[in-house]
């Protein structure tokens, strides 16, 4: 009967051809892939070397020590002139990329949290306004938003002579945003020390307050104390030294504003566009994160007698953060990568500076390699930091 | 017997209407706009914001706007050398109107526009039944759309055969470039992304490593550097004398970039499929490719439809970056014409950008709405 018809499985598989062994097939397939790839790489290298020789182009990174010969419009951290080396120019570019990325991340996070919470509001009008904001900015290219600010808004501002006067001695015109520059006299370093001491003090107070609350159940106003320490200590330091700080106010001259500090329209348009664009994505992440916290959590908090404020602060937000952080990280990385759109408005970020060098020297391989190394390092560093932060926030289970 | 139960009501009493504050529009306003003091403050703030913002916007967009005109004079004030009164400000739709053909086709020869139109009509005729779930002949339609239509479109757009004049891609522009880049990018990135995702989950170490390196490198760098690479480095890699069409190079860059992101989305779906499904496929005697194609992928892809469409939307928006390597897609063409001496005015750039933004927005918003619709339709109730 049926049971007698069954042939032993072991024998037939032992006879099976080697070709049907998945492991063996895997080896064959991988060997072929490696061979094809090696051939391709050899072919590419061969072609590249031939092309470089034909065009009499040298290779290697030695050119980086050469004189750059071009100007960079904005270099707030490094001293740079057209006599500086290419490597200095690249550093200026990297620092500019980081500046606009960090500034953009801060505002985009603020916009995103406000709009994301607004989308969950009980207030119909607020909800609709936030929805319109998200749906508009999510669905248009970031480059278009940059052009919108740069060509549509900032460059049609009045000329320097008819600058728009804003509070605190600031001015806005088509050359950018002018604001009073702080001038530090001797002894201002103590304020920096005060600031650091304030931050360290605030962290210590927080640690102590948590410990005390764990032991006694008594709460301590950490927020106000920290704010007092962080603002108060530098002020105190300045007072000790007799306020060695003055401001250089921009003054309206006949053709231009004199003095003060300037944020150029290139930086402003890039910064505003990245903030508004990424803010809409962060808003959706925040909304999803808050909705991802179960309703039972809010109900349990209410049952314990917590009011709306502490419920949000102590129960909902800490749990929502766990859902929010991983996608938030990738948005931060997206913003950093999108900052490369600076090249379209002439803000000297890494890609724009690299592009100039590429056009001047023709070292496309080296420049692209530098770009890739820098951006990949930024990505890896951000991921490591956010993973650490994520692990700190993660659910600690028994 | 005395059957007098007169104390039992024989007809029902009419229910009282709720108080005014608990019904109709008043209740809606009370609960949705003025529930708490904070809510009231927010509502008033929002209303003030809208009053300050909306009338000016509507006036600028529609009432003060200039809809047609021969040149820049209609969009500038007297002081700027135009005909509008001093202090006038409004959208310059006349600029969009006058350059509309340019925005759609770019420098594509005027007398050959019918070829682009024909491709567009074919595209819509094939796409719409594909998107409507109830339309018949889905498989045939998909084969025609993804395999036969691109060939027809290629011959129609490029020309050089069958008596059609040759139009080099340098003469393409506007929305034509945007849509071509997006369509090819989408059609290439989905299959390539699936292959990469499968490779990343493969048990063969070398294949896995190669896929991981490719995906993570591409995802770590901005698209602009990929485009720069495609336009500056690719020519170096090829034997001397072999040249590559610039459009094709941008196309390769965009497609490779999108496929790395697609791979991660698909991998998310693959990871969500329980092991039992793989084992079930294997126990039915299905080979790897049969099991993957018939059991795993249909479930995995369904799970990640929102992610796939998001990648499509991202790709569509990213095509605007080709402006940076001096190709002229919709955004690039609109921007290029800002410097047209005939149309320079303070209102031109912002009007043109709003038009371009509107076009991009329609496509992206449409895609996202369709994905929500599809997600609901394919929902088999297995979601938690």
pLDDT tens, residue by residue, B195-242: 999 998 888 888 889 998 998 889 888 998 888 888 888 888 887 777
Residue B30 lies in a domain: no
For residues A286-307, give the mean pLDDT.
89
- Contact: B361, A136; criterion CB under 8 Å: yes
Q: How far is B15 from chain A (nearest CA, A)?
A: 30
- Number of Cβ within 10 Å of residue A241's Cβ equals 16
For residues B184-192, give the mean pLDDT.
91
Q: How far apart are CA B229 and CA B220, in angstroms?
A: 14
Q: How confident is the model at residue B384 (pLDDT cuts 50, 70, 90)?
A: very low
Q: How confident is the model at residue A75 (pLDDT cuts 50, 70, 90)?
A: confident
Q: Which residues of A touch B32 (CB under 8 A)?
A: 122-125
In this structure, of A10-19, A146-155, A367-376, B214-223, the range with the lowest mean pLDDT score is A10-19
Q: How far apart are CA B288 and CA B202, in angstroms?
A: 11
pLDDT at B5: 60
Residue B247 lies in a domain: yes
Q: Which residues of A touch B42 (CB under 8 A)?
A: 121, 123, 125-126
Q: How confident is the model at residue B346 (pLDDT cuts 50, 70, 90)?
A: confident
The neighbouring-strand residues paired with A182 are: A247
Q: Which domain holds residue A360?
A: 86-157+172-177+265-393
Indicate the SS3 state at residue A124.
helix
Probe site for chain A from B41, B203, B232, B346 (most A CB atoms < 10 A): B232
The tally of domains found in chain A comes to 1
Closest in A54, A141, A148 to B317, CB measured: A141
For residues B305-320, give the mean pLDDT.
89
A371 touches chain B (CB under 8 A): yes
For residues A175-191, give the mean pLDDT.
75
Q: How far apart are CA A276 and CA B333, in angstroms?
A: 24
Q: Are A113 and A282 in contact (CB under 8 A)?
A: yes
A315 touches chain B (CB under 8 A): no
Probe site for chain B from A23, A135, A152, A354 (most B CB atoms < 10 A): A152
A164 touches chain B (CB under 8 A): no
Residue B363 lies in a domain: no
Q: How far is B46 from chain A (nearest CA, A)?
A: 7
Q: How far apart are CA B348 and CA B5, in angstroms?
A: 86
Question: Quick check: A3 pLDDT over 70?
Answer: no
Indicate the SS3 state at residue A43.
helix
Residue A146 lies in a domain: yes
Q: How confident is the model at residue B306 (pLDDT cuts 50, 70, 90)?
A: confident
Which residue from B257, B383, B191 is spatially nearest to A334, judged by alpha carbons? B257
Q: How far apart are CA A315 and CA A262, in angstroms?
A: 43
Q: Which residues of B touch A26 (CB under 8 A)?
A: 203-204
CA A87 to chain centre: 23
Phi/psi-derived region of residue A183, left when phi > 0, alpha when psi is between -120 and 50, beta in every other case: beta
Residue B342 lies in a domain: no
- Contact: A368, B357; criterion CB under 8 Å: no
Q: How far is A180 from chain B (nearest CA, A)?
A: 29
The crossing angle, in degrees rounded to 10, of helices A364-393 and A350-361 is: 160
- Contact: A140, B360; criterion CB under 8 Å: yes
A21 touches chain B (CB under 8 A): no
- Contact: A152, B324; criterion CB under 8 Å: no
Q: Which two tokens stand for residue A318?
A: 């800490």
Residue B94 lies in a domain: no
Give ∠ CA B296-B297-B303 in degrees, rounded to 5.
100
Tell me, letter by letter, the H, E, C secondary structure of B36-95.
CHHHHHHHHHHHHHHHHHHHHHHHHHHHCCECCCCCHHHHCEHHHCCCECCCCCCCEHHH
A41 touches chain B (CB under 8 A): no
Q: Which residues of B touch A122 (CB under 8 A)?
A: 31-32, 35, 39
CA A96 to chain centre: 12
Q: Which two tokens stand for residue A346?
A: 């002439």
In this structure, of A321-335, B82-96, B286-300, the range with the lowest mean pLDDT score is B82-96
Probe site for chain B from A24, A39, A42, A123 (most B CB atoms < 10 A): A123
Q: Give the CA dihedral A99, A101, A102, A104, nearest 10 degrees.
A: 110
Burial of A249 (0-12, 13-18, 19+ CB in 10 A): middle
- Contact: A33, B220; criterion CB under 8 Å: no
For B222, name the nearest residue in chain A, comparing CA atoms only. Answer: A337
- Do the bridges between strand A170-173 and strand A176-179 make them parallel or antiparallel, or are there none, so unpaired? antiparallel
Residue B358 lies in a domain: no
Q: Are A229 and A143 in contact (CB under 8 A)?
A: no
Q: How far is A194 from chain B (nearest CA, A)?
A: 38
pLDDT at B196: 93
Q: Are B162 and B155 in contact (CB under 8 A)?
A: yes
- Number of Cβ within 10 Å of residue B238's Cβ equals 15
Q: Are B211 and B263 in contact (CB under 8 A)?
A: yes
pLDDT at A135: 92
Q: Are B90 and B67 in contact (CB under 8 A)?
A: no
pLDDT tens, residue by residue, A200-212: 988 998 888 888 8
pLDDT tens, residue by residue, A100-129: 999 999 999 999 999 998 998 888 899 999
Probe site for chain B from A44, A125, A380 (most B CB atoms < 10 A): A125
Q: How far is A286 from chain B (nearest CA, A)?
A: 17
The length of chain A in residues reads: 398
State the average pLDDT for chain A: 82
For B345, name the nearest residue in chain A, comparing CA atoms only. Answer: A156
Q: How confident is the model at residue B193 (pLDDT cuts 50, 70, 90)?
A: very high
Q: How far is A397 from chain B (nearest CA, A)?
A: 23
Q: Are B181 and B251 in contact (CB under 8 A)?
A: yes
- Contact: A372, B357; criterion CB under 8 Å: no
For residues A333-346, give the mean pLDDT.
89
- Note the pTM of the prediction, 2 decimals: 0.85
Which residue from A232, A244, A251 is spatially nearest to A188, judged by alpha carbons? A244
For residues A3-11, give the mean pLDDT.
49
pLDDT at A231: 84
Strands (E), chain A: 164-166, 170-173, 176-179, 181-184, 245-248, 251-252, 257-258, 261-263
Question: pLDDT above 70 covers what percent of chain A?
Answer: 92
DSSP-derived letter for residue A256 is S
Q: Which domain holds residue B221?
A: 167-332
| Complex-level ipTM beyond the 0.95 threshold | no
Q: How far is B79 from chain A (nearest CA, A)?
A: 14
Q: Are B185 and B253 in contact (CB under 8 A)?
A: no
The tally of domains found in chain B comes to 1
- Contact: B364, A26; criterion CB under 8 Å: no
Q: What is the largest CA-CA distance in chain A?
A: 109
pLDDT at B334: 87
- Number of Cβ within 10 Å of residue A54's Cβ equals 9
pLDDT at A301: 92
For residues A81-102, give the mean pLDDT.
87
Q: How far is A289 from chain B (nearest CA, A)?
A: 16
pLDDT at A77: 74
CATH of the domain at B293: 1.10.3720.10
Q: Could you give the count of Cα atoms lying within 13 Å of B168 in the half-sphere of its Cβ?
A: 4
Q: Which residues of A touch B253 (CB under 8 A)?
A: none
- Number of Cβ within 10 Å of residue B87's Cβ equals 8
Residue B75 lies in a domain: no
pLDDT tens, residue by residue, A236-277: 887 877 776 777 777 777 667 676 777 888 898 999 999 999
For B358, name the nearest residue in chain A, comparing CA atoms only. Answer: A140
Q: Which residues of B touch A379 (CB under 8 A)?
A: 219-220
- Contact: B225, A372; criterion CB under 8 Å: yes
- Contact: B323, A26; criterion CB under 8 Å: no
- Contact: B42, A123; criterion CB under 8 Å: yes
Question: Which residue would you say has higher pLDDT here, A25 or A57?
Answer: A25
Tell me the C-alpha to C-alpha distance, in Å, between residue B33 and each of A10, A123, A283, B28, B36: 75, 5, 22, 8, 9
Residue B316 lies in a domain: yes
Residue A237 lies in a domain: no
Tell me the C-alpha to C-alpha distance, in Å, between residue B133 and each of A206, B137, B256, B370, B373: 58, 11, 30, 11, 11
- What is the number of helices (H) and of strands (E) in chain A? 14, 8
State the average pLDDT for chain B: 85
pLDDT at A39: 92
Q: How far apart are CA B335 and CA B330, in angstroms?
A: 9
A141 touches chain B (CB under 8 A): yes
Tell me the C-alpha to C-alpha distance, in Å, between residue B206 and each of A36, B88, B125, B262: 13, 66, 44, 21
For residues A295-317, give the mean pLDDT.
88
Question: Quick check: A146 pLDDT over 50?
Answer: yes
pLDDT at B107: 83
Tell me the C-alpha to C-alpha distance, in Å, between residue A283 and each of A218, A280, A287, A389, B106: 35, 5, 6, 20, 36
Q: Which residues of B touch A138 (CB under 8 A)?
A: 364, 368
Q: Are A175 and A160 in contact (CB under 8 A)?
A: yes
pLDDT at A304: 92
A117 touches chain B (CB under 8 A): no
Phi/psi-derived region of residue A325, left when phi > 0, alpha when psi is between -120 and 50, beta in every other case: alpha
Closest in B50, B321, B353 to A152, CB measured: B353
Q: DSSP string of B222-257?
A: -HHHHHHIIIIIHHHHSPTT----HHHHHHHHHHHH
Q: How confident is the model at residue A2 (pLDDT cuts 50, 70, 90)?
A: very low
Ordered strands of the A261-263 beta sheet = A164-166, A170-173, A176-179, A261-263
DSSP-derived letter for residue A171 is E
CATH of the domain at A348: 1.10.3720.10
Question: Quick check: A15 pLDDT over 60?
Answer: no
A174 touches chain B (CB under 8 A): no
Q: How far is A165 from chain B (nearest CA, A)?
A: 20
pLDDT at A10: 47
For residues B135-151, give the mean pLDDT.
84
Tell me the C-alpha to C-alpha distance, in Å, between residue A380 and each of A90, A100, A330, B217, B226: 20, 19, 11, 11, 18
Interface of A with B in 349-368 (CB under 8 A): 351, 355, 358, 364-365, 368
Q: What is the largest CA-CA distance in chain B?
A: 118
């Amino acid at each position: 009967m049926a049971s007698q018809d069954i042939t032993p499985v072991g024998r037939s598989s032992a006879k099976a051809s080697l070709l049907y062994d998945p492991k063996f097939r895997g080896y064959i397939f991988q060997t072929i892939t490696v061979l094809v790839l090696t051939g391709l790489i050899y072919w590419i290298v061969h072609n590249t070397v031939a092309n470089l020789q034909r065009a009499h182009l040298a290779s290697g990174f030695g050119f980086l020590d050469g004189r750059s010969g071009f100007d960079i419009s904005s270099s707030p951290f490094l001293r740079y002139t057209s006599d500086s080396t290419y490597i200095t120019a690249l550093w200026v570019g990297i620092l500019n990329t980081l500046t606009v990325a960090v500034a953009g991340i801060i505002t985009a996070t603020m916009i995103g949290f406000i709009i994301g919470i607004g989308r969950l509001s009980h207030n119909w009008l607020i909800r609709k306004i936030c929805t319109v904001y998200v749906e508009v900015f999510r669905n248009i290219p970031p480059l278009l938003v940059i052009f919108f600010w740069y060509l549509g808004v900032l460059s049609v501002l009045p000329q320097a002579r008819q600058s728009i006067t804003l509070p605190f001695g600031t001015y806005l015109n088509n050359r950018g945003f002018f604001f009073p520059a702080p001038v530090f006299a001797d002894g201002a370093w103590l304020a920096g020390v005060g600031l650091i001491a304030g931050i360290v003090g605030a962290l210590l107070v927080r640690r102590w307050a948590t410990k005390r609350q764990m032991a006694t159940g008594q709460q301590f106003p950490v927020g106000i104390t920290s704010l007092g320490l962080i603002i108060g200590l530098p002020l105190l330091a300045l007072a000790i030294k007799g306020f060695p700080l003055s401001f250089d106010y921009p003054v309206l001259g006949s053709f231009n504003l004199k003095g003060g500090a300037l944020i150029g329209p290139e930086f402003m348009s890039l910064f505003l566009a990245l903030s508004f664009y990424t803010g809409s994505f962060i808003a959706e992440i925040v909304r999803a994160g808050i909705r991802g916290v179960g309703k039972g959590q809010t109900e349990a908090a209410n049952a314990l007698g917590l009011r709306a404020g502490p419920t949000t602060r102590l129960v909902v937000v800490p749990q929502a953060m766990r859902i929010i952080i991983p996608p938030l990280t990738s948005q931060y990385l997206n913003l950093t990568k999108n900052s490369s759109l600076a090249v379209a408005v002439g803000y000297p970020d890494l890609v724009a500076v690299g592009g100039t060098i590429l056009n001047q020297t023709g070292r496309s391989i080296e420049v692209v390699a530098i770009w890739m190394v820098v951006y990949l390092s930024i990505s890896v560093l951000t991921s490591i930091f956010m993973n650490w932060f994520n692990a700190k926030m993660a659910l600690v289970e028994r | 017997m005395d059957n007098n139960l007169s104390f039992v009501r024989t007809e029902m009493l009419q229910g009282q209407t709720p108080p005014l504050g608990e019904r109709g529009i008043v209740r809606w306003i009370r609960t949705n706009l003025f529930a708490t003091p904070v809510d009231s403050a927010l509502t008033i703030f929002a209303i003030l914001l809208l009053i300050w913002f909306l009338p000016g916007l509507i006036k600028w967009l529609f009432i003060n706007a200039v809809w047609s005109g021969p040149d820049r004079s209609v969009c500038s004030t007297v002081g700027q050398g135009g005909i509008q009164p001093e202090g006038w400000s409004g959208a310059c739709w006349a600029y969009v109107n006058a350059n509309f053909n340019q925005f759609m086709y770019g420098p594509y020869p005027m007398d050959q526009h019918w070829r682009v139109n024909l491709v567009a009509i074919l595209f819509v005729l094939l796409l719409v039944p594909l998107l409507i779930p109830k339309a018949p002949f889905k498989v045939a339609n998909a084969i025609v759309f993804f395999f036969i239509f691109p060939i027809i479109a290629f011959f129609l757009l490029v020309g050089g055969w069958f008596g059609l004049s040759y139009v080099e891609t340098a003469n393409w522009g506007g929305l034509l470039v945007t849509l071509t880049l997006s369509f090819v990018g989408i059609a290439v990135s989905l299959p390539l992304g699936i292959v990469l995702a499968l490779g990343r989950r493969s048990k063969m170490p070398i294949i896995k490593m190669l896929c991981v390196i490719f995906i993570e490198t591409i995802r770590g760098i901005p698209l602009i550097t990929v485009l720069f690479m495609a336009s500056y480095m690719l020519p170096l890699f090829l034997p001397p004398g072999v040249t590559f069409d610039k459009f094709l190079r941008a196309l390769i860059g965009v497609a490779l970039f999108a496929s790395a992101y697609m791979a991660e989305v698909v991998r998310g779906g693959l990871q969500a499929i329980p092991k039992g499904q793989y084992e079930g496929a294997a126990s039915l005697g299905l080979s790897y490719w049969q099991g993957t194609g018939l059991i795993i992928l249909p479930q995995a892809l369904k799970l990640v439809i929102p992610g796939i469409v998001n990648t499509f939307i991202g790709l569509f928006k990213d095509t605007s970056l080709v402006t940076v390597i001096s190709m002229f897609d919709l955004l690039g063409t609109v921007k290029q014409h800002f410097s047209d001496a005939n149309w320079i005015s303070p209102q031109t750039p912002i009007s043109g950008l709003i038009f371009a933004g509107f076009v991009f927005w329609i496509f992206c918003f449409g895609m996202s709405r369709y994905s929500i619709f599809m997600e609901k339709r394919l929902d088999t109730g297995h979601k938690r």
